[in-house]
Structure 1
Amino acid sequence: MTETVVVLGAGYAGAGAIKKLEETLGDEADITWVSDHDYHLVLHESHRCIRDPSVQDKVTIPVDEIKSPTTRFIQGEVSGLDCDDRAVELADGSTVSYDYLLVTLGSQTAYYGIDGLEEHSLTLKSLDDALTIHDRVKEAAREATADDPAHVAIGGAGLSGIQTAGEVAEFRDMHHAPIEITLVEALENVLPGMDSELQGALRKRLEERDIEISTDDPITEAEDGAIHFDSGDTLEHDVFVWAGGITGQEAIDDSGLDNEHNRVNAEATFETNDDRVFALGDSAIVDQPDGPAPPTAQAAWQAAEVAGENVARALHGQPLDSWTHEDKGTLVSVGEKAVAHDVVGIPLNTFSGPVAVAIKKGIAVRWINDVTGPGRAVRAWSDM
C-alpha cells in the first residue's frame, strides 16, 4: 500500500520540503500539501508591499508553479493534529490522514501578555498584513499636514521591525508625505543580540532616513492611538505596527507533540517525540550544537532539503541525517539600501552600498529560482 506524506504550510520550510520530497520519492508515496493560502509568500521581502502594493505579484508564488501535478494540494486552515489517529484537522471540519507528517506551519506574532497590544496593533506576518499597513499609512498621510504630521510607530527593532520602518520611510519620501516614524525597542540596541558593528551600521542607516529610534524602554500597555512605556512615557501614533517576536501556532497545542509555546521540539534530524512526525522552520525548535536553530528564512531554506530527504529515509527504513545550520551572513534592508554582515565569501565584516543591495536581491531571486524557475526570478529582481 502506498504511504501518504503530508506537509503542513507553504512557507520556506514547506515549499522547500515539497520540492525535495518530490525529487526523492517520485511515485513511491502520495504527497499532500496543506496550506491556508494557495501561494508561497517570499516573507522576508513582503515588507516591500508597504511601499508599493503592486510588488505582491513578485513576492507571491502560486503553489501550482512549485509543486508537481501529482502532488495533491488542499487549501485549508489547520486547526489541530491528532497524532494517535494520524489525522490533520482542518477548520472546515474535514480531516487529512497521513502516514508521515511534516509540520512547517510557521509562527504567529507573540504579544507577551502586554495589555492591549494585540487589540491595538498591526502585524507583518502575511501579505494581507503588509497591504493593510500600506493602506493605514496612506490613509494617515492623507489626513495629515506639515504642521500636524501622521505618526507611525513600529514596536520591535529586529529584522522585521527595521525593514518595516525602512519601507514606511520609502513611502513617505516617494509621496512627499507628512509622516514621522519612530522605531521602539525594549532592549538596549536595534537588532538585539547581534554584532555591535552591525547594530551601529543599521542605526546609522535608520537615522539617515529620519527614523527616530527609542531603545531600552519596554512597552507596558497599548491603547487606541497610544503606547505606554516602562519609563512612564507615552507615544501617540496614527499607525502602530508590532514586530516584537514570534510564538507557535495554536494547532500544535493539544497535538501530543512536545513543544514550547506551541513550537515543536525537534532533533537535528527533525524527528519529534512521534516517530511519524517531523518538524522544522518557525514551527519547530530544532536542536543544534550551540542552541536552537534561528527562526529565519535562511535556516528554514537550508533545513527543508535535509528534512525532505529524512522523511524519504524514514519511509525506506534508512538511518536519518542530522542537519547543522550554517550561518551564511545577515542582510537587512532599510528601504532601498541594505546592510550586510559576515556574508560567506565576502572579506568585509559589515558593509553597505550597492554590493549589499545586490547580494540581498540575489538571495531572494535565488530562492524564487529554486522553487519555480529563472523566468519568475528574473522578473522579481527589480522589486527585491
Structure 2
Amino acid sequence: MTATVVVLGAGYAGAGAILSLEDALDEETDLVWVSDNDYHLVLHESHRCIRDPSVQQNVTIPVDSIKSPSTRFIQGEVTGLDCDDQEVSLDDGSTVSYDYALVTLGSQTAYYGIEGLEEHSLTLKGLDDAFEIHDQVKEAAREATEDDPAQVAIGGAGLSGIQTAGEVAEFRDMHHAPIEITLVEALDEIFPGNDPELQGALRKRLLDLDIEIATGDPITQAEAGEIHFESGESLAHDVFVWTGGITGQDAMGDASLDDEHNRVNADATFETSDDRVFALGDSAIVDQPDGPCPPTAQAAWQAAEVAGENVARALHGQPLAEWTHESKGTVVSVGDKAVAHDVVGVPMNTFGGPAAEILKKGIATRWIRDVGGTLRAARAWPNM
C-alpha cells in the first residue's frame, strides 16, 4: 500500500524538507506539498521589497522550480491538523490524508495582548506585507513637506525591525523624501540578547542612516496615528510597523500536540508528541542541548535535511537521527550596509564594510541557488 507523506508550508524548512524527502523516499511513497502560496519566499530578504517592490522577482521561487514532477502540490491554507484521523484541513473545506506529516507552517506576529496593536500596525511576515509598507511609506512621503515630514515608527529592534528601518531609510534617501524614522524597543538594547559588540555596530549604522533609536520603554497601547509607552510618553506616526515577536499559526492550536503558543514542541529528531507528526522551523520549538533552537532561516534550512531523512526513516521503521544546531554566524543588513558577527572561518569577531555586504549577498544567493538554480541566483545577486 502506498504511504503518503505531507509537508505543510513552503518556507525555508518546507522547501528544504521537500528536497531532502525527494532524495530519501522511494517511488512507492506519495509526497504531497501543501502551502497557501505557490512560491517559496526568501523571507530574510523580503524587506528589500519595502524599498523596491520589483525585487519580488528575485525573492520568490515558484514551487514548480523547486520540486520534482512526481511531488504533488496543493495550494491552500492549512486550517487544522487532526492527529487521530491523520488528516489536514484546508480553507476550502477539503482534507488531505497522511501517513506522516511534516509541519513547517512558519509563524505569525505576536502582539502580546497590547491594546490596539494588531488593529493599528503593519507587519512583515510576507510579500504582501512588504508591498503594503512600501505603499504607505510612499503615500505618507507624498503628503509630507520638509517642515512637516512623514513619521515612520518601527516597533521591535530585532532582526526584522532593524532591516525594515534600514530599507525605509534607503527609500527616503533614494527619493529625497521628507521622512523621519524612529526604531523603538521595549528592552534597553537593540538586537536584544546578542553580543554587545554586534549591538554597537548595528546601532552605529542605524544612526548613520539618521534613524532615531528609542529603547527601554515598552509600548502599552496603539491607536490610529499614535502609540503610547509605559513612561507616559507617546509617538505620533503616519506609518507604524510592528516586528516585535512571533507565535505559532492558529491552525496548530487544536492539533492535540504538545505546544507552546501554537508552536509545536519537538525533540532533536523533530518528532512531536505524535509519532506520525514531525515539526521544524518557526512552527516548532526544537529541543537542543543549550535550549530551544533559534527561529532563524539558517537553523531551518540546516534542520530540513535531517528532518526529511528522519521522516523517511520513520516510514521504514529505522532509528531516527538527532540534529544539533551549529550557528555559522550572524549577518544583518542595514540598508545597503551590513554587519557580520562570529562567522565561522573568519578571524574577526564583528565586521562591516564590503566584506560583510558581500557575505550577506552570498548567503542569500546560495540559498536561492540551492532551491531555485544557479541562473536564478545570479539574477538575484544585485538586489540582495
TM-score bucket (shorter structure): over 0.9
What TM-score do you get using the length of structure 1 for normalisation?
A: 1.00
CA drift of 1:27 comes to 1.0
Alignment of 1:179-190 (within 5 A): 179-190=179-190
Distance 1:10 1:50 in 2: 22
Show the counterpart of 2:244: 244
Tell me which amino acid in the other structure corresponds to 1:290: D
Letter in 2 for 1:238: D
* Residue in structure 1 matched with residue 141 of structure 2 by the alignment: 141
Structure 2: distance between partners of 1:47 and 1:353:
20
Q: Which residue is equivalent to 1:360?
A: 360
Structure 1 partner of 2:198: 198
**Offset at residue 154 of structure 1 (A):** 0.1
Partner of 1:110: 110
Between the aligned partners of 1:26 and 1:212, the Cα distance in structure 2 is 55
**SS of equivalent to 1:74:** strand
Q: SS state of the match for residue 271, structure 1?
A: coil
Distance in 2 between the 1:192 and 1:354 partners? Answer: 25
Kindly indicate whether residue 234 of structure 2 is the aligned counterpart of residue 228 of structure 1: no
Corresponding position of 2:57? 57
Q: Distance in 2 between matches of 1:230 and 1:208?
A: 28
- Residue 349 of structure 2 corresponds to 349
**What is the CA deviation profile of residues 55-93 of structure 1, one whole-angstrom value per residue up to 9, with x for unaligned ones?**
000000000000000100000000001000000000110
What is the aligned partner in structure 2 of residue 83 from structure 1?
83
- In 2, the alpha carbon distance for the partners of 1:372 and 1:215 equals 40
Gap runs ≥5 in structure 1 = none
1:66-81 equivalences in 2 (<5 Å): 66-81=66-81
Within 5 Å, give how 1:87-106 maps onto structure 2: 87-106=87-106
Deviation at 1:373, TM superposition (A): 1.0
Q: Which moved more, 1:18-27 or 1:241-250?
A: 18-27
Aligned partner of 2:11 in structure 1 is 11
Query: What is the SS of the residue equivalent to 1:291?
Result: coil
Matched, 1:165 2:165: yes
Shift of 1:2: 1.1
CA deviations 1:169-213 (Å, max 9, x no partner) are 000000000000000000010000000000000000000000000
Deviations 1:336-368 (A, max 9, x none): 000000011110000000000000100000101
Q: Secondary structure at the match of 2:171?
A: helix
Unaligned runs of 5+ residues in structure 2 are none
Matched to 1:202, the amino acid is: L
TM-score of the aligned structures, taking structure 2 as reference length: 1.00
CA distance in 2, matches of 1:225, 1:105: 32
User: How far apart in 2 are the matches of 1:132 and 1:29?
Assistant: 41
Q: What is the CA–CA distance in structure 1 between the aligned matches of 2:97 and 2:360, rounded to whole Å? A: 39
Structure 2 SS opposite 1:228: strand
Deviation at 1:311, TM superposition (A): 0.4
Name the counterpart of 1:298: 298
Residue in 2 aligned with 1:219? 219
Output the CA distance in 2 between the equivalents of 1:328 and 1:226: 40
1:144 alignment partner, SS class:
coil
Q: Distance in 2 between matches of 1:62 and 1:112?
A: 34
Distance in 1 between the 2:372 and 2:23 partners? 14
Which secondary structure does the structure 1 equivalent of 2:50 belong to? helix
- Output one character per residue of 1:250-279: Cα deviation in whole Å (capped at 9) or x when no partner: 001111010000000000000001010000
Post-superposition offset of 1:28: 3.1
How many residues are aligned here?
384
Separation (CA, whole Å) in 1 of partners of 2:208 and 2:31: 49
Q: Does 1:381 align with 2:381?
A: yes
Q: Separation in 2 of the partners of 1:341 and 1:31?
A: 39
Letter in 1 for 2:51: R
Structure 1 residue 26, shift from structure 2 partner: 3.8
**SS of residue in 1 equivalent to 2:270:** coil
Moved over 3 A (4+): none
1:380, distance to aligned residue in structure 2 (A): 0.5
Q: Give, in whole Å, the separation in 1 of the partners of 2:330 and 2:221.
A: 32
Report the secondary structure of 1:306's partner residue.
Answer: helix
Identity of aligned residues (%): 80
Distance 2:283 2:351 in 1: 32
Secondary structure at the counterpart of residue 325 of structure 2? coil
Aligned residue for 2:125, secondary structure, equals coil
Counterpart residue number, 1:210: 210
CA distance in 2, matches of 1:230, 1:323: 42
SS in 2 for 1:348: coil
Q: How does 1:316-331 map to 2 (within 5 A)?
A: 316-331=316-331
Using the alignment, how far apart are the partners of 2:343 and 2:134 within structure 1? 31
Whichever residue aligns with residue 110 of structure 1, its letter is A
Q: Residue 170 of structure 2 aligns to a residue in which SS?
A: helix
Which residue is 2:333 aligned to?
333
Partners of 2:317 and 2:276 lie apart in 1 by 12
Q: Which residue of 2 aligns with 1:123?
A: 123
